[in-house]
């Protein structure tokens, strides 16, 4: 079993990675139960994994109660937050109890936020079941729900007590979901690790086809990169953690235009956003065109969108820019952008003019 630690002083926590880990999660989680039943929040799509987890807990002498929600991005809502909080209170969850989030990023974000506010904060464990959640959203403590104003605008920083990652559960995912998760893997190479980007170029086909060794390596490398960044800037105050948002400013605007629906998965939006960020960097004269094309070519090669048309987005640039104005990073009317001087050379630019972004998007739409 590989273990990566997120170093946050007395709030540090381990990320355990091993194929088949779900089947023996009970023995790992039993010490956290304190002899009490554990609440598990999941969704309808994860029922087979829920059965395995509950059996593993039972074998370890731990009772459990499941809260099963509808699948999909719309579950990250006020209504579902209320439903989860009410049920946790009905179950008598205490501050020192550990709630289990079993599912993808939607479940992890929702449960983490619920646990940040129930009785002013209880503990939780992340067991991510999608590739995107395994390499990104389950680590770092960002929790949130969506609102009519935009994505992830209501939330809190609330770190999990532990993350258990079983790459074997990915075998049950549709290929599209795995590709979407891969976007968050290659992002780490684009941020500050050119050698990892080269590894991705060489190994993406094996990873996407289910090669266990490639998946474990990619997941462990990704969470180690994120753990390092989170430890350096937990609350995104010094600009380091903002690097993790590469592709997200453009990507979230595309997701908003798609109605935060299965029409455009989050990872697909991030992929298109990364390609757009690199091409916009070329427009600003800070990145070589060959680097931007290399990124786009790799995304196309693995079946991910590399721009507006490929993402199925046909909207006026003014509409997309308006979506961007709801970004959490807006400060004094300015929106910082993650741009790139080259592959592995991303930086935060606080001087971007949204009028110029709109002009760029107009050229992209032609």
**Could you confirm whether 236 is annotated as catalytic?**
yes
**Could you confirm whether 120 is annotated as catalytic?**
yes
User: From the candidates 236, 255, 257, 364, which is the catalytic residue?
Assistant: 236
User: From the candidates 76, 252, 283, 323, which is the catalytic residue?
Assistant: 252
User: From the candidates 123, 151, 215, 241, which is the catalytic residue?
Assistant: 241
For helices 289-301 and 266-283, angle between their N-to-C axes, nearest 10 degrees: 160
**Could you confirm whether 184 is annotated as catalytic?**
yes
Residue pair 338/346 in contact by the 8 Å Cβ criterion: yes
Q: Would you call 101 helix, strand, or coil by DSSP?
A: strand
Give the burial string for 192-219 (b: 16+ CB within 10 Å, else e): bbeebbebbbebbeebbeeeeebbbbbb
CA separation for the pair 188, 146 (Å, rounded): 25
Cβ contacts of residue 289 below 8 Å, gap of 6+? 282
User: From the candidates 45, 146, 152, 245, which is the catalytic residue?
Assistant: 245
Q: Would you call 160 helix, strand, or coil by DSSP?
A: coil
How far from chain centre, in Å, is Cα 56?
26
Q: What is the DSSP letter of 334?
A: B
Q: Which two tokens stand for residue 77?
A: 């809502």
User: From the candidates 73, 98, 146, 184, which is the catalytic residue?
Assistant: 184
**Could you confirm whether 82 is annotated as catalytic?**
no
Cβ contacts of residue 213 below 8 Å, gap of 6+? none
User: From the candidates 248, 283, 298, 323, which is the catalytic residue?
Assistant: 248
Q: How many CB atoms lie within 10 A of CB 167?
A: 22
Q: What is the DSSP letter of 286?
A: S
Cβ contacts of residue 297 below 8 Å, gap of 6+? 306
Q: Which two tokens stand for residue 307?
A: 């721009």
**Could you confirm whether 226 is annotated as catalytic?**
yes
**Could you confirm whether 266 is annotated as catalytic?**
yes
CA separation for the pair 332, 255 (Å, rounded): 24
**Could you confirm whether 252 is annotated as catalytic?**
yes
CA separation for the pair 322, 319 (Å, rounded): 5
User: From the candidates 49, 123, 266, 283, which is the catalytic residue?
Assistant: 266
User: From the candidates 49, 123, 142, 298, which is the catalytic residue?
Assistant: 142
Task: Report, as residue numbers or ranges, the catalytic residues.
Answer: 120, 142, 184, 226, 236, 241, 245, 248, 252, 266
């Amino acid at each position: 079993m590989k273990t990566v630690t997120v170093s946050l002083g007395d709030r540090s926590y381990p990320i355990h990675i091993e194929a088949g880990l779900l089947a023996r999660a009970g023995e790992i989680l039993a010490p956290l139960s304190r002899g009490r039943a554990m609440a598990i929040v999941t969704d309808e799509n994860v029922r087979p994994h829920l059965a395995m987890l509950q059996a593993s807990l039972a074998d370890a002498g731990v009772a459990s109660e499941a809260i099963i929600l509808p699948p999909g991005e719309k579950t990250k809502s006020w209504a579902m937050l209320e439903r989860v909080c009410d049920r946790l209170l009905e179950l008598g969850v205490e501050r020192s109890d550990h709630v289990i989030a079993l599912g993808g990023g939607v479940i992890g974000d929702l449960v983490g936020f619920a646990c940040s506010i129930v009785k002013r904060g209880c503990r939780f464990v992340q067991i991510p079941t999608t590739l995107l959640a395994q390499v990104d959203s389950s680590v770092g403590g960002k929790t949130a729900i969506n609102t009519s104003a935009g994505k992830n605008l209501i939330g809190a920083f609330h770190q999990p007590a532990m993350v258990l990652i079983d790459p074997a559960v990915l075998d049950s995912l549709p290929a599209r979901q795995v590709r979407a998760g891969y976007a968050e893997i290659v992002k780490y190479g684009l941020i500050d690790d050119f050698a990892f980007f080269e590894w991705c170029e060489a190994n993406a086909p094996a990873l996407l086809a289910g090669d266990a060794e490639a998946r474990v390596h990619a997941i462990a490398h990704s969470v180690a990169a994120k753990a390092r960044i989170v430890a350096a800037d937990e609350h995104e105050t010094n600009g380091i953690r903002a690097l993790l948002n590469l592709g997200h400013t453009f990507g979230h605007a595309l997701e908003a235009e798609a109605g935060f629906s299965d029409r455009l998965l989050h990872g697909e939006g991030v992929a298109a956003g990364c390609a757009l960020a690199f091409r916009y960097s070329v427009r600003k004269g800070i990145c070589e065109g060959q680097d931007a094309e290399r990124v786009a070519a790799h995304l196309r090669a693995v079946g991910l969108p590399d721009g507006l048309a490929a993402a199925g987005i046909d909207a006026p640039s003014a509409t997309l820019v308006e979506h961007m104005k709801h970004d959490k990073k807006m400060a004094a009317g300015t929106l910082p952008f993650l741009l790139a001087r080259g592959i592995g050379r991303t930086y935060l630019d606080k001087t971007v003019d949204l009028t110029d972004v709109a002009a760029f998007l107009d050229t992209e739409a032609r």
